[in-house]
Chains A and B, each alone.
Chain A
Amino acid sequence: MRTVQETVEIAVPVRTAYNQWTQFTVFPRFTRTVRHVDQVTPALTSWTVALGPLRTEFQAEIAEQEPDAYLVWRSLGASPAHRGRVTFEPTADGGTAVTVRMDLAPAGRAGLLAAVPALPGRVVRGELLRFKRYIEGLGAESGAWRGTIRGGRPKRPEPERHESGVPHWPVG
C-alpha cells in the first residue's frame, strides 16, 4: 500500500464543508478526475474516474461516517484498490481543515497512479483545492446527508429515522 495524506484549510464552517462533501453526485462539477458518481445507497457509491488516458470505474463502500467529523471508505472488488479517510476539523478562525488520507494498492489502475512518485499526492491535493474553491464560492452547501454509518450500515438522522419514504406493503 502506498499512502498519501493531504490537508487543505477551507474558509467555511465544518458543517458546511462536511455537508457539501456528502453530495458525491456533484463531484464531477468541481473535480478534474471524477467523471460520474451514482449513489446507490448512502453507503454504496459507483464512481467513474479518469486521469489522462486512464479511465476506470469502481464501487466504494463507506464503512464509517459521522456528521461533521469523518468518513472512511474502501473500494469494492476482487482486490480492493484503495481505501481512505476524510476528516473535518474546525480551525481557530472558524474554518475547516479537510484531510484526506488514502492508501493505494500496488495493483490495478490505482496501482499505476501509485507507481508514479509524487503523483498521487499531487492529484489528491489538486482535487482538495478544487473542492475548497467550489464550496467557498458557493458559500453554502448544495445539500446534505446527515445520517451516520457504522460498520458499513447507514442510519438516517433522527427526525426521519423511522419513516419509510417509499411504499412498504407486501409485494407479491
Chain B
Amino acid sequence: MKKAPGEEPHDELAVTPPRTWAAGVPAVAHALEYSLEETSARRTGTTLLTMNQVGGIDCPGCAWADPAPGHRHRNEYCENGAKHINDEATTRRVTADFFRTHPVSELARRSDAWLNQQGRLTEPVVKRPGSDFYEPISWNDALALMAGELAGLDTPDEAVFYTSGRAGNEAAFVLQLFARALGTNNLPDCSNMCHESSGFALHETLGTGKGTVSLHDLHHADLIFLVGQNPGSNHPRQLSALEEAKRNGARIIAVNPLPEAGLLRFKNPQKPSGVIGRGTQIADRFLHIRNGGDLALFQGINRLLLEAEDARPGEVLDHDFIREDTAGFEDFAAHVRGVDWSRILTATGLSRQEIEQVRDDVLRSRRVVVCWAMGITQHKHAVPTIREFVNFLLLRGNIGRAGTGACPVRGHSNVQGDRTVGIWEQMPDSFLDALREEFGFDPPRAHGLDSVRTIEAMRAGRVRFFLGLAGNFVRAAPDSAVTEEAVRSCRTTAHISTKLNRSHTVCGETALILPTLGRTERDVQASGEQFVTVENSMSEVHTSQGRLRPASPLLLSEIAILCRLARRALGGKPDIPWERFEADYGVIRDHISRIVKGLHDYNQRVTRPGGIQLTNPVNEGVYSNGVGRALFTRNTGEAPHVPEGHLLLQTLRSHDQWNTVPYTSDDRYRGIHGSRRVVLVNPDDVAELGLADGRGVDLVGVWTDGVERRAEDFRVVPYPTARGCAAAYYPETNVLVPLGSVADESNQPTSKSIVVRLEARADSPPDSRGT
C-alpha cells in the first residue's frame, strides 16, 4: 500500500508561457509518472492495456467514442484517461484508523486534492448526529439506518437521489426505479450542470436529445467548428479524430476566449510525426471571442449567409432541404437580418472581417460539423446559442448527411447513458408508462427536482434525505457557500463513492459513506463475474469490465448497494426482483430492453464487439419534436452587462484535473505551476485595472441579489484571454456562481459568465509576483 500525503502541498506559483501544442511525449511521461505514483507498474499495465478495448474498461474520464473494433490502438487512451484510471486503481487506502484520527471538521478544511489523494475507501462508515467523527458500520446496519430515515419522511419528495455520469446504465436504471417505486422523481444528475442546455436546444429544434455525428462524420467533414471547448485537456482523444479530419482535408475553426494548446496543434504520441515532428496544426482559424459572444457570432455568420444567397440566388442555401424538412425559416431569416452589426461586434469582440472570413470558409464547404462543450452550455443564453448553431447547420443542409451535424462533446463517461435509462427529473409519460407495464406500479408523474432546485428545496427545508450515486455534489454545484449550508441542513446524506471528497465532509446530521467498486475492479456476484454497460457521446452502448482485485473485500457494487437498500426501504412493494438484479445484471438489462426503445435484445447485442449503435433519428429524416420538421428559431440573449472596472469570469478546469478532482496544482498547457488560486486576465485589462502580474486579489461576484460572493486570495496572471474576460479554476470559484443565475429553459448554472471585480489584497505587494 502506497502512503498518502500527510500534509497539503505547499502553494507556490510559477508561471511559464502557455504551450502552443498538446500531447506528444510529455503527455505519455506525465501519465506514467502520475500512474506510478498511485499504483504499481503491474496494475498500471493491467488498467491501461484493457482501457477502451473490446471487453475491457470503459475509461471514466470522458464520453468520447472509441474507434471501431479492429481500429483501436494498443494504447487507446489519453494522458488524462491514464491519470484518471490509475487515480482509481491507486493502492492507497482510507481505513477506519484514518477516520479515527481525522474529525469531519478537520477534513472539511482540507483541499479537494488532499482528500482525493488519501486513497480508496474500504468500508462503510457513519457520522452520527452530534458526532464529529465517521465510525465503521456494517452494511446491514447502514442500509437499515437509511431505510429507517426514508420511512420517517413525511413524503417521498423529501428524498433526493443524485447521479453522476460514472454510474453505468444498470446502476442508473436501478436507482431511478427505486426512486420512482418509492414515489419521487427527484433525480438530479451532473447533466443538469454540464450539457442540459444542449439537450433542451437539440430536442426542441431537431427532436433528439443527443448529438447527431459519428467519428466517420468528423473524419469526412470539410469544416469543423470547435466552439467553447478545450479538447486538449477535456477530451484529448477528440484530437485524434480532428487529426484524421485534417488528413482528409478538413479546415478547423476554433472559437474560444482562450487560445488553448489543444486547439492549436496536436502531437499524436502514437505516431512518429507526433514524437519527433511538429505534429498536426488543429485550428486553421482561431476566433478569440469574448465569453458568451457565440450567439452573436453565429447570428452574424447566418446573416452573412443570407446576404450571400441574396447576391447569388439558389447557390448558397439548401432550398430543397429547407422547404421539405424544416419549419420557421422566414421568421428566423427576418430576425437575423435585423441583428445589428455593432451588437455582434461588441458581443464577440471580433472584427467584421474575421466573421466574413468564416462565412467564406463555410461557403467553400459542403460538409460542416459544429462541436461545442461547456463554454457554450453554461451561459444564461446557452439554449438560444445552441439553437442558433442549429439554424446555421440547417441553412446549408448540414444535418442528416454524411460529414455533417451537431456534436455536443460530453465530459462524463456515461451521462448520456444514464439519461437513456431514465435518470431525469422530467421523464416523459411514455417512459413512465413503460415502467408501469413492466413492474406493475404507477410511477409518480409530477416532475422532480433538478440540481439547482434540489439546493433550493434543501434551503427551504423540503429535502431531508440525499443519496449521491458517485460524484461530488457539494463541489460540482454552484454557489458553494449556499450549497454547503443547504446540504448541512439535511437530516441524512449518503454517498456511494470510491474515494473521499468534500461531499463527505460537508454533510447532513447523519452521514454515510458507502464505499463501492470502481470501473477497474472485478465485480463478482451470485451468478458470476459481471460487466456493466455505458453509452458514449456518439450513442454507442457497450460493455465495461474491470480486471483488478477490489480495493477491499467489503466493497459492494453500486447495483448491490442500491438493490439492498431498495429491498429494505420498499419492503417488497412493488414486487421488483431486486435480489435477482443484484445476482445477475443481465436481468436488469432484460427489463431495460423492454422499456427503452432501441435497447431491444440488449444482452445479446451489447456483448458484440463495438456494442449497440443507437441510431439518431435525425440521420433518417425523423424529427420527433412535435412538429415533425427541423425548426429554425428566432433567438435573443447576450452575456451579462459588465460594468466598468469589472470582468466577465468563466470557471474552467486545469489540465491536471478531472471534474471536481485536481490531481496536482499544475496546468502545464497554460503555463501555471504550483498553485490553482490564479485568475487569468488579459494583459491590457491587468494594466487598465491598475493591477500587476502576480498581484494578490479577491474575486468578488456581482449579482442582482446584492449578496457579496467572494473567492479569496488569488494571484493575477496576465494571459491571452479575450479582452474584458477572465478565467479561474473550479471548484474553487464555484462560490462565485449564484444559485439563481441559471440558463433560460435548461436551468443550468451559468458558470461561464459571472461578473466579478478584482479587489487587490492589502497583504500583497502591488507590483511584483515575488511573494
- A–B pairs, 21, beta carbons within 8 Å: A40-B214, A41-B619, A43-B401, A44-B216, A44-B402, A59-B220, A61-B402, A77-B220, A151-B318, A151-B321, A151-B397, A154-B621, A166-B598, A167-B597, A167-B598, A167-B614, A168-B208, A169-B427, A170-B746, A171-B419, A172-B195
Contact for A156 among B192, B318, B427, B620, CB less than 8 A:
B620
Interface residues of A in 33-85 (CB under 8 A from B): 36, 38, 40-44, 46, 59, 61, 76-78
Judging by beta carbons under 8 Å apart, are B402 and A165 in contact?
Answer: no
Contact B402 A41 (CB under 8 A): yes
Residue of A nearest to B199 (CB): A170
Q: Which of A151, A154, A161 contacts B619 (CB 8 A)?
A: A154
Question: Min CB distance, B429 to chain A, in Å?
Answer: 11
Contact residues of A: prevailing secondary structure: loop
Residues 149 to 165 of chain A near chain B (Cβ within 8 Å):
150-156, 161-165
* A90 CB-CB contact with B under 8 Å: no
Known: A61-B220, A77-B220, A171-B198. 16 other contacts (CB 8 A): A36-B70, A41-B214, A43-B402, A78-B247, A78-B249, A153-B397, A154-B400, A161-B621, A164-B617, A165-B598, A166-B615, A169-B424, A169-B431, A172-B191, A172-B192, A172-B193
Give A154 to B400 CA distance when docked, in angstroms: 7
Question: Is B196 an interface residue when CB atoms closer than 8 A count as contact?
Answer: yes
Q: Contact at A59–B219, with CB atoms within 8 Å?
A: yes
B621 touches A170 (CB 8 A): no
Task: Confirm or deny: B68 has a beta carbon within 8 angstroms of a beta carbon on chain A.
Answer: yes
Contacts of A151 in B (CB 8 A): 318, 320-321, 397, 401
Contact of A147 with B by CB under 8 A: yes
Contact of A170 among B209, B401, B402, B598 (CB under 8 A): B209
B197 to chain A: closest residue by CB? A172
Q: Mark B599-626, 1 if CB is under 8 A from A, else 0.
A: 0000000000000011111011110100
Could you tell me if A172 and B419 are in contact, using CB atoms closer than 8 angstroms? yes
| Inter-subunit contact B622/A171 (CB<8 Å) | no
The answer on a CB contact under 8 Å between A59 and B208 is no
How close is B610's CB to chain A, nearest CB, in angstroms?
A: 8
Asked whether B424 lies within 8 Å of A41 as measured between CB atoms, the reply is: no
| Nearest chain B residue, comparing its CB with the CB of A38 | B68
* A101 vs chain B, min Cβ distance (A): 21
Interface: B210 (CB within 8 A) = yes
Contact yes or no, A167 B209, CB < 8 A: yes
The residue among B195, B202, B620 with the most chain A CB atoms within 10 A of its own CB is: B620
Chain A residues lying within 8 Å of B198, measured Cβ to Cβ, are 171-172
* Alpha-carbon distance A44/B597, docked complex (angstroms): 22
Asked, given contacts A41-B615, A59-B220, whether A168 binds B321 with beta carbons under 8 Å apart, the answer is no
Tell me how many residues of B have a C-beta within 8 Å of chain A.
62
Residue B200, interface by CB 8 Å: yes
B612 to chain A, nearest CB (A): 10
A154 to B196, Cβ gap below 8 A? no
In the bound assembly, the distance between CA atoms of A40 and B403 in angstroms comes to: 12
**Contact: A42 with B619, CB < 8 Å?**
yes
B401 with A172: CB separation less than 8 A: no
B216 lies within 8 A of A155 (CB): no
* Selected contact of A152 from candidates B401, B415, B616, CB within 8 Å: B401
Chain B's closest residue to A41 (CB) is: B619
Q: Bound state CA distance, A59 and B71, in angstroms?
A: 14
User: What is the size, in residues, of chain A's interface with B at 8 Å between Cβ atoms?
Assistant: 33
CA distance A155 to B202 in the complex (A): 19
Specify the chain B residue showing the minimal Cβ separation from A170: B199
Taking A151-B397, A169-B427 as contacts, is the C-beta distance between A161 and B320 under 8 angstroms? no
Q: B596 near A: Cβ within 8 Å?
A: yes
B residues apposed to A, CB below 8 Å: 68, 70, 189-196, 198-200, 202-203, 207-210, 214, 216-217, 219-220, 247-249, 318, 320-321, 325, 397, 400-403, 415-416, 419-420, 424, 426-428, 431, 539, 596-598, 613-617, 619-622, 624, 628, 746, 748
Q: Are B402 and A76 in contact (CB under 8 A)?
A: yes
Known: A77-B248, A170-B202. A44 touches B620 (CB 8 A): no
**Contacting residue for B620 out of A59, A147, A167, CB 8 A:** A147
The winner among A61, A151, A152, A164 for most chain B CB atoms within 10 A is A164
CA distance A164 to B619 in the complex (A): 11
B219 proximity list for chain A (CB < 8 A)? 59, 76
Q: Given the complex of chains A and B, what is the CA–CA distance between A28 and B325 in angstroms?
A: 35
**Contact partner, A153, options B191, B193, B216, B621, Cβ 8 Å:** B621
The answer to whether A44 and B217 touch (CB under 8 A), given A76-B402, A78-B249, A166-B598, is yes
Which residue of chain B lies nearest to A163 when distances are taken between CB atoms in the complex?
Answer: B622
Q: How far is the CB of B240 from chain A (nearest CB, A)?
A: 16
Q: Which residues of B contact A168 (CB under 8 A)?
A: 203, 207-209, 617, 624
Contact of B416 among A59, A152, A163, A171 (CB under 8 A): A171
**A164→B431 CA distance, assembly (Å):** 14
> CA–CA, A60 to B612, complex, Å?
21
* Distance between A110 CB and nearest chain B CB, rounded to angstroms: 16
Q: Mark A120-164, 1 if CB is under 8 A from B, else 0.
A: 000000000000000000000000000100111111100001111
What B residues does A165 contact at CB under 8 A? Answer: 597-598, 615, 617, 622
A36 to B746, CA, bound (A): 42
Cα distance A38–B402 in the bound complex, in angstroms: 14
Q: B613 contacts which chain A residues (CB < 8 A)?
A: 40
* A residues less than 8 Å from B746 (CB atoms): 170, 172
Q: Which residues of B contact A153 (CB under 8 A)?
A: 321, 325, 397, 400-401, 621
Name the distance in Å between A36's Cβ and chain B's nearest Cβ.
8
Across the interface, do B424 and A162 meet the contact criterion of CB distance under 8 Å? no
Are B196 and A172 in contact, CB atoms less than 8 angstroms apart?
yes
Chain A residues, Cβ within 8 Å of B539 = 166
- The docked-state distance in angstroms from the alpha carbon of A147 to that of B196 is 33
Q: Which single member of B194, B615, B621 contacts A155 (CB below 8 Å)?
A: B621
Q: Which of B220, B249, B320 contacts A150 (CB under 8 A)? A: B320
Which of these, A46, A147, A172, contacts B199 with CB under 8 Å?
A: A172
Q: Which residue of B lies closest to A147 (CB)?
A: B620
Contact B624 A162 (CB under 8 A): yes
- Smallest Cβ-Cβ distance to A60: which chain B residue: B402
Residues A10-25 near B (CB distance < 8 A): none
Instruction: Assess whether A169 is in contact with B428, with CB atoms less than 8 Å apart.
Output: yes
**Cα distance A118–B397 when bound, in Å?**
40
